[in-house]
Protein backbone atom coordinates (compact mmCIF):
# COMPACT_ATOMS: atom_id res chain seq x y z
CA UNK A 1 0.00 0.00 0.00
CA UNK A 2 1.41 3.39 -0.96
CA UNK A 3 0.54 6.66 0.72
CA UNK A 4 -0.81 9.44 -1.48
CA UNK A 5 1.60 12.24 -2.29
CA UNK A 6 -1.45 14.43 -2.80
CA UNK A 7 -4.01 15.68 -0.32
CA UNK A 8 -6.63 12.94 -0.65
CA UNK A 9 -7.88 10.24 1.71
CA UNK A 10 -5.51 7.23 1.54
CA UNK A 11 -6.76 4.06 -0.07
CA UNK A 12 -8.48 1.65 2.28
CA UNK A 13 -7.14 -1.93 2.34
CA UNK A 14 -8.52 -3.78 -0.66
CA UNK A 15 -9.82 -0.59 -2.29
CA UNK A 16 -9.42 -0.43 -6.07
CA UNK A 17 -6.74 2.22 -6.76
CA UNK A 18 -7.73 2.66 -10.40
CA UNK A 19 -11.39 3.23 -9.60
CA UNK A 20 -10.47 5.58 -6.78
CA UNK A 21 -8.23 7.77 -8.94
CA UNK A 22 -10.88 7.74 -11.67
CA UNK A 23 -13.40 9.08 -9.18
CA UNK A 24 -11.06 11.98 -8.38
CA UNK A 25 -10.46 12.89 -12.04
CA UNK A 26 -12.42 15.17 -14.37
CA UNK A 27 -15.14 12.85 -15.66
CA UNK A 28 -14.85 14.20 -19.20
CA UNK A 29 -11.25 12.98 -19.26
CA UNK A 30 -12.25 9.62 -17.82
CA UNK A 31 -15.10 9.24 -20.29
CA UNK A 32 -13.16 10.10 -23.42
CA UNK A 33 -10.26 7.94 -22.27
CA UNK A 34 -12.52 4.95 -21.66
CA UNK A 35 -14.06 5.33 -25.12
CA UNK A 36 -10.56 5.24 -26.59
CA UNK A 37 -9.57 2.29 -24.40
CA UNK A 38 -12.66 0.24 -25.26
CA UNK A 39 -12.28 0.95 -28.99
CA UNK A 40 -8.64 -0.19 -28.80
CA UNK A 41 -9.66 -3.54 -27.29
CA UNK A 42 -10.71 -4.78 -30.73
CA UNK A 43 -7.47 -3.93 -32.50
CA UNK A 44 -5.31 -6.55 -34.16
CA UNK A 45 -3.34 -8.64 -33.51
CA UNK A 46 -5.84 -10.79 -31.68
CA UNK A 47 -3.20 -12.51 -29.57
CA UNK A 48 -4.64 -11.51 -26.21
CA UNK A 49 -1.87 -13.16 -24.24
CA UNK A 50 0.63 -10.98 -26.08
CA UNK A 51 -1.39 -7.87 -25.25
CA UNK A 52 -1.40 -8.98 -21.62
CA UNK A 53 2.40 -9.30 -21.73
CA UNK A 54 2.61 -5.71 -23.01
CA UNK A 55 0.27 -4.52 -20.25
CA UNK A 56 2.47 -6.21 -17.64
CA UNK A 57 5.62 -4.78 -19.27
CA UNK A 58 4.11 -1.31 -18.93
CA UNK A 59 3.24 -2.03 -15.29
CA UNK A 60 6.89 -2.83 -14.63
CA UNK A 61 8.06 0.32 -16.43
CA UNK A 62 5.85 2.53 -14.27
CA UNK A 63 6.35 0.50 -11.05
CA UNK A 64 2.54 0.29 -10.97
CA UNK A 65 1.66 -2.06 -8.12
CA UNK A 66 -1.98 -2.10 -9.17
CA UNK A 67 -1.15 -3.18 -12.75
CA UNK A 68 1.14 -5.93 -11.56
CA UNK A 69 -1.40 -7.29 -9.09
CA UNK A 70 -4.04 -8.06 -11.70
CA UNK A 71 -4.34 -10.39 -14.68
CA UNK A 72 -7.02 -10.04 -17.31
CA UNK A 73 -9.10 -13.15 -17.95
CA UNK A 74 -8.80 -12.58 -21.69
CA UNK A 75 -5.01 -12.62 -21.44
CA UNK A 76 -4.77 -16.31 -20.67
CA UNK A 77 -3.47 -17.69 -17.47
CA UNK A 78 -0.23 -15.80 -16.97
CA UNK A 79 1.32 -16.39 -13.58
CA UNK A 80 3.44 -14.19 -11.33
CA UNK A 81 6.52 -15.19 -13.35
CA UNK A 82 5.23 -13.23 -16.35
CA UNK A 83 6.49 -10.07 -14.64
CA UNK A 84 10.03 -11.44 -14.77
CA UNK A 85 9.55 -12.88 -18.23
CA UNK A 86 8.62 -9.56 -19.88
CA UNK A 87 11.87 -8.04 -18.65
CA UNK A 88 14.08 -11.00 -19.57
CA UNK A 89 12.20 -11.84 -22.77
CA UNK A 90 15.30 -12.09 -24.96
CA UNK A 91 16.48 -15.14 -23.05
CA UNK A 92 12.99 -16.55 -22.53
CA UNK A 93 11.24 -19.30 -24.47
CA UNK A 94 8.66 -16.87 -25.83
CA UNK A 95 7.99 -17.13 -29.56
CA UNK A 96 9.86 -14.86 -31.97
CA UNK A 97 6.75 -12.76 -32.74
CA UNK A 98 6.25 -12.11 -29.03
CA UNK A 99 9.89 -11.18 -28.60
CA UNK A 100 9.60 -8.80 -31.55
CA UNK A 101 6.56 -7.15 -29.97
CA UNK A 102 8.27 -6.87 -26.59
CA UNK A 103 11.24 -5.18 -28.28
CA UNK A 104 8.88 -2.56 -29.65
CA UNK A 105 7.30 -2.19 -26.22
CA UNK A 106 10.67 -1.79 -24.49
CA UNK A 107 11.63 1.00 -26.88
CA UNK A 108 8.21 2.63 -26.60
CA UNK A 109 8.48 2.71 -22.80
CA UNK A 110 12.13 3.71 -22.59
CA UNK A 111 13.60 5.67 -25.51
CA UNK A 112 11.31 5.27 -28.53
CA UNK A 113 13.68 7.23 -30.78
CA UNK A 114 16.29 4.52 -30.27
CA UNK A 115 14.30 1.69 -31.78
CA UNK A 116 16.84 -0.12 -33.93
CA UNK A 117 16.48 -0.96 -37.59
CA UNK A 118 16.87 -4.62 -36.66
CA UNK A 119 13.92 -4.37 -34.24
CA UNK A 120 11.84 -2.67 -36.93
CA UNK A 121 12.68 -5.37 -39.45
CA UNK A 122 11.87 -8.14 -36.98
CA UNK A 123 8.54 -6.53 -36.15
CA UNK A 124 7.65 -6.28 -39.84
CA UNK A 125 8.63 -9.91 -40.34
CA UNK A 126 6.00 -11.08 -37.85
CA UNK A 127 3.29 -8.42 -37.95
CA UNK A 128 1.46 -6.42 -40.57
CA UNK A 129 1.72 -2.60 -40.33
CA UNK A 130 -1.89 -2.56 -39.11
CA UNK A 131 -1.00 -4.98 -36.32
CA UNK A 132 2.03 -2.90 -35.30
CA UNK A 133 -0.08 0.26 -35.11
CA UNK A 134 -2.66 -1.77 -33.17
CA UNK A 135 -0.09 -2.92 -30.62
CA UNK A 136 1.24 0.60 -30.18
CA UNK A 137 -2.25 2.03 -29.73
CA UNK A 138 -2.80 -0.58 -27.00
CA UNK A 139 0.39 0.50 -25.26
CA UNK A 140 -0.64 4.14 -25.62
CA UNK A 141 -3.88 3.30 -23.84
CA UNK A 142 -2.04 1.56 -21.01
CA UNK A 143 0.09 4.60 -20.12
CA UNK A 144 -2.80 6.26 -18.35
CA UNK A 145 -1.59 4.28 -15.34
CA UNK A 146 1.28 6.73 -14.83
CA UNK A 147 -0.67 9.18 -12.63
CA UNK A 148 -1.30 6.40 -10.13
CA UNK A 149 2.40 5.87 -9.53
CA UNK A 150 3.22 9.58 -9.68
CA UNK A 151 0.57 10.60 -7.16
CA UNK A 152 1.00 7.61 -4.86
CA UNK A 153 -2.58 6.46 -5.41
CA UNK A 154 -1.45 2.97 -6.13
CA UNK A 155 -1.44 -0.42 -4.52
CA UNK A 156 -2.08 -4.07 -5.25
CA UNK A 157 -5.74 -5.00 -5.47
CA UNK A 158 -4.87 -7.95 -3.25
CA UNK A 159 -1.29 -7.92 -1.87
CA UNK A 160 -1.34 -11.69 -1.31
CA UNK A 161 -2.37 -12.99 -4.70
CA UNK A 162 -3.05 -12.07 -8.31
CA UNK A 163 -6.60 -10.86 -9.00
CA UNK A 164 -8.34 -11.94 -12.19
CA UNK A 165 -10.38 -9.22 -13.85
CA UNK A 166 -12.70 -9.76 -16.79
CA UNK A 167 -14.21 -7.63 -19.52
CA UNK A 168 -17.29 -7.17 -17.34
CA UNK A 169 -15.16 -5.08 -15.00
CA UNK A 170 -14.75 -2.37 -17.64
CA UNK A 171 -18.24 -1.02 -16.91
CA UNK A 172 -17.08 -0.03 -13.44
CA UNK A 173 -14.64 2.42 -15.01
CA UNK A 174 -17.20 4.20 -17.18
CA UNK A 175 -18.08 7.60 -15.74
CA UNK A 176 -21.87 7.31 -16.32
CA UNK A 177 -22.12 10.98 -15.49
CA UNK A 178 -20.90 10.45 -11.97
CA UNK A 179 -19.89 13.71 -10.31
CA UNK A 180 -16.27 13.98 -9.36
CA UNK A 181 -15.57 13.14 -5.72
CA UNK A 182 -14.09 16.05 -3.79
CA UNK B 1 9.49 9.27 -42.57
CA UNK B 2 7.82 6.36 -40.86
CA UNK B 3 9.36 2.93 -41.18
CA UNK B 4 5.98 1.32 -41.65
CA UNK B 5 5.21 0.46 -45.28
CA UNK B 6 1.95 2.38 -45.40
CA UNK B 7 0.98 4.47 -48.38
CA UNK B 8 0.57 8.10 -47.36
CA UNK B 9 -1.06 9.34 -50.55
CA UNK B 10 -2.13 12.97 -50.33
CA UNK B 11 -2.70 12.99 -46.57
CA UNK B 12 -0.32 13.70 -43.71
CA UNK B 13 1.72 10.81 -42.37
CA UNK B 14 -0.04 10.86 -38.97
CA UNK B 15 -3.45 10.51 -40.59
CA UNK B 16 -2.22 7.82 -42.96
CA UNK B 17 -0.48 5.69 -40.32
CA UNK B 18 -2.72 6.06 -37.27
CA UNK B 19 -5.77 6.26 -39.50
CA UNK B 20 -5.41 2.60 -40.46
CA UNK B 21 -7.60 2.14 -37.38
CA UNK B 22 -10.15 4.85 -38.09
CA UNK B 23 -12.32 4.44 -35.00
CA UNK B 24 -9.50 4.16 -32.49
CA UNK B 25 -7.63 7.09 -34.05
CA UNK B 26 -10.77 9.22 -33.82
CA UNK B 27 -11.34 8.24 -30.17
CA UNK B 28 -7.73 8.99 -29.35
CA UNK B 29 -8.03 12.45 -30.88
CA UNK B 30 -11.20 13.16 -28.90
CA UNK B 31 -9.43 12.11 -25.70
CA UNK B 32 -6.48 14.40 -26.46
CA UNK B 33 -8.84 17.27 -27.27
CA UNK B 34 -10.58 16.80 -23.91
CA UNK B 35 -7.18 16.80 -22.24
CA UNK B 36 -6.11 19.95 -24.07
CA UNK B 37 -9.27 21.70 -22.93
CA UNK B 38 -8.65 20.77 -19.30
CA UNK B 39 -5.51 22.83 -18.66
CA UNK B 40 -4.00 26.16 -19.67
CA UNK B 41 -3.02 25.93 -23.37
CA UNK B 42 0.26 27.82 -22.98
CA UNK B 43 1.36 25.62 -20.11
CA UNK B 44 0.40 22.52 -22.07
CA UNK B 45 2.40 23.71 -25.09
CA UNK B 46 5.43 24.24 -22.87
CA UNK B 47 5.11 20.78 -21.33
CA UNK B 48 4.62 19.13 -24.71
CA UNK B 49 7.74 20.83 -26.03
CA UNK B 50 9.78 19.61 -23.07
CA UNK B 51 8.45 16.06 -23.41
CA UNK B 52 9.31 16.17 -27.11
CA UNK B 53 12.87 17.17 -26.26
CA UNK B 54 13.25 14.33 -23.78
CA UNK B 55 11.81 11.76 -26.20
CA UNK B 56 13.32 13.28 -29.39
CA UNK B 57 9.87 13.44 -30.96
CA UNK B 58 10.50 15.23 -34.23
CA UNK B 59 6.81 15.52 -35.15
CA UNK B 60 6.12 17.52 -31.97
CA UNK B 61 9.41 19.44 -31.97
CA UNK B 62 8.51 20.88 -35.37
CA UNK B 63 5.49 22.59 -33.79
CA UNK B 64 7.57 24.80 -31.49
CA UNK B 65 9.81 27.78 -32.17
CA UNK B 66 13.57 27.26 -32.11
CA UNK B 67 13.85 30.07 -29.54
CA UNK B 68 11.49 28.34 -27.13
CA UNK B 69 13.24 25.02 -27.59
CA UNK B 70 16.62 26.62 -26.92
CA UNK B 71 15.31 28.26 -23.73
CA UNK B 72 13.71 25.01 -22.62
CA UNK B 73 16.90 23.01 -22.90
CA UNK B 74 18.27 24.90 -19.91
CA UNK B 75 15.03 26.07 -18.32
CA UNK B 76 16.49 25.72 -14.81
CA UNK B 77 18.88 28.59 -15.53
CA UNK B 78 16.57 30.67 -17.70
CA UNK B 79 14.78 33.71 -16.25
CA UNK B 80 12.06 33.34 -18.88
CA UNK B 81 9.86 30.95 -16.95
CA UNK B 82 7.46 31.63 -14.09
CA UNK B 83 7.43 29.70 -10.83
CA UNK B 84 4.37 27.78 -12.03
CA UNK B 85 6.08 26.84 -15.28
CA UNK B 86 9.18 25.73 -13.40
CA UNK B 87 7.16 23.55 -11.07
CA UNK B 88 5.35 22.04 -14.02
CA UNK B 89 8.53 21.41 -15.98
CA UNK B 90 10.26 19.79 -13.04
CA UNK B 91 7.27 17.56 -12.49
CA UNK B 92 7.00 16.66 -16.18
CA UNK B 93 10.66 15.70 -16.46
CA UNK B 94 10.48 13.30 -13.53
CA UNK B 95 7.08 12.02 -14.63
CA UNK B 96 8.36 11.10 -18.08
CA UNK B 97 11.50 9.42 -16.78
CA UNK B 98 9.96 7.53 -13.84
CA UNK B 99 6.61 8.50 -12.31
CA UNK B 100 7.22 6.44 -9.18
CA UNK B 101 10.14 8.77 -8.33
CA UNK B 102 8.03 11.95 -8.45
CA UNK B 103 8.56 13.39 -4.98
CA UNK B 104 5.88 14.45 -2.54
CA UNK B 105 7.42 17.97 -2.62
CA UNK B 106 6.93 18.21 -6.38
CA UNK B 107 3.28 17.21 -6.04
CA UNK B 108 2.73 19.64 -3.15
CA UNK B 109 4.19 22.46 -5.26
CA UNK B 110 1.77 21.68 -8.06
CA UNK B 111 -1.13 21.33 -5.64
CA UNK B 112 -0.41 24.81 -4.32
CA UNK B 113 -0.84 26.15 -7.84
CA UNK B 114 -3.64 23.97 -9.22
CA UNK B 115 -5.45 22.64 -6.16
CA UNK B 116 -5.93 18.92 -5.61
CA UNK B 117 -8.37 18.26 -8.46
CA UNK B 118 -6.36 20.45 -10.82
CA UNK B 119 -3.18 18.52 -10.04
CA UNK B 120 -4.86 15.19 -10.70
CA UNK B 121 -6.21 16.47 -14.02
CA UNK B 122 -2.85 18.00 -14.96
CA UNK B 123 -1.15 14.67 -14.31
CA UNK B 124 -3.69 12.82 -16.45
CA UNK B 125 -3.23 15.32 -19.28
CA UNK B 126 0.54 14.98 -19.19
CA UNK B 127 0.24 11.18 -19.24
CA UNK B 128 -2.04 11.37 -22.28
CA UNK B 129 0.27 13.62 -24.29
CA UNK B 130 3.40 11.80 -23.24
CA UNK B 131 1.90 8.54 -24.49
CA UNK B 132 0.90 10.19 -27.75
CA UNK B 133 4.42 11.54 -28.26
CA UNK B 134 5.89 8.12 -27.51
CA UNK B 135 3.60 6.67 -30.18
CA UNK B 136 4.69 9.28 -32.69
CA UNK B 137 8.38 8.84 -31.88
CA UNK B 138 8.35 5.06 -32.05
CA UNK B 139 6.63 5.11 -35.45
CA UNK B 140 8.87 8.05 -36.49
CA UNK B 141 6.00 10.10 -37.83
CA UNK B 142 6.87 12.95 -40.14
CA UNK B 143 6.08 16.50 -38.96
CA UNK B 144 2.98 17.95 -40.60
CA UNK B 145 3.76 20.34 -43.45
Domain boundaries, chain B: 13-139
Q: Mark which residues 94-123 of B lie under 8 Å from A by CB.
A: 95, 98-100, 102-104, 107-108, 111, 116-117, 119-121, 123
Taking the Cβ of residue B88 and every Cβ of chain A, the question of whether any pair is shorter than 8 Å is answered with no
Give me the interface pTM, i.e. the ipTM.
0.96
The shortest C-alpha distance from A156 to chain B (Å) reads 15
User: How do residues A63-101 score in pLDDT, each as one tens digit?
Assistant: 999 999 999 988 887 888 899 999 999 999 999 999 999
pLDDT given at position A172: 85
Mean of pLDDT values over B76-87? 95
What is the reported pTM?
0.96
**Three-state SS across B7-41?**
CCCCCCHHHHHHCCCHHHHHHHHHHHHHHHHHCCH
Contact A22, A153 (CB under 8 A): no
**Is residue A8 domain-resident?**
no
Residue A178 belongs to a domain:
no
Which residues are within 8 A (CB) of B113 and not within 5 positions of it... i.e. 6 or more apart?
B84, B87
pLDDT digits (tens, 9 = 90+) for B13-70: 999 999 999 999 999 999 999 999 999 999 999 999 999 999 999 999 999 999 999 9
pLDDT one-digit tens code per residue, B98-119: 999 999 999 999 999 999 999 9
State the smallest CA–CA distance between residue B109 and chain A in angstroms: 10
| Domain contains A5 | no
**Counted domains in chain A:** 1
Give dist(CA A107, CA A98) in Å, integer.
14
CB contact under 8 A, A120 and B57: no
Domain limits for position A66: 17-173
Asked if the structure places residue A38 within a domain, the reply is: yes
> Which residues in chain A have their CB less than 8 angstroms from residue B16's CB?
none
- pLDDT in the model for residue B82: 96
Secondary structure class of A163 (helix, strand, coil): strand
CATH code for the domain of A154: 1.20.1290.10
Nearest to B135 among A36, A136, A147 (CB): A136
Q: Of B36, B49, B137, which is closest to residue B93 (Cα–Cα)?
A: B49
Residue in B closest to A129 by C-alpha: B4
Chain A positions touching B37 (Cβ under 8 A) are 28
Superfamily classification of domain B13-139: AhpD-like (1.20.1290.10)
Residue A81 domain flag: yes
A7 lies in some domain: no
Q: Between chains, do B27 and A36 touch, taking CB under 8 Å as contact?
A: yes
Amino acid sequence: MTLPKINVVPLAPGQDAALYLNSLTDQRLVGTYMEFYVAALGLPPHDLELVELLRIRNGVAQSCQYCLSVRTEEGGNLAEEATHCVMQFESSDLSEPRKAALRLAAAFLELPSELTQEARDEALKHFTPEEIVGLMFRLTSFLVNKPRAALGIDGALDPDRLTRIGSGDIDKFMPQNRPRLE
Amino acid sequence: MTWLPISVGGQGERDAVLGVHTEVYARHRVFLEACAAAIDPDLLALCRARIAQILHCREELALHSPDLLAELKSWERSPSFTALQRNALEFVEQFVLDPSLVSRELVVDLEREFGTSGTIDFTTVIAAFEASLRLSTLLDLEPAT
